[in-house]
Amino acid sequence: MRKIYGIQNLIVYLASAGYPLTEKQVHELILNKDIPHLRPINNMIVFNLDHIDWWVSQRLKL
């Protein structure tokens, strides 16, 4: 499983994938459970890049 930790790292990854988002947008997506993520510990957010790639591909189809 490819994974990254933290919102800032996700923002960098999404920008490199051609789907740039702001930190505020990512926070809103997490709060609304609209983006795949894991929260194994309260202050730690983990993103599975395979799930993020799928999520981006679905959003680009809209």
4-46 pLDDT, tens per residue?
A: 999 999 999 999 999 999 999 999 999 999 999 999 998 999 9
Q: Find the farthest-apart pair of alpha carbons in the chain and give their distance in angstroms, rounded.
A: 33
**Predicted local distance difference test score (pLDDT) of residue 40:** 93
Residue 35, class by beta-carbon neighbours within 10 Å (0-12 exposed, 13-18 middle, 19+ buried)? buried
Whether the predicted pLDDT of 62 surpasses 80:
no
**pLDDT recorded at residue 8:** 98
Phi, psi of 10 (to 5 degrees): -65, -40
Which residues contact residue 32 at a Cβ distance below 8 angstroms, ignoring those fewer than 6 apart?
A: none
Residue where the block lists tokens 């591909």 = 57
At residue 36, the pLDDT reads: 97
Label residue 1 by pLDDT band (50, 70, 90).
confident
Amino acid, res. 60: L
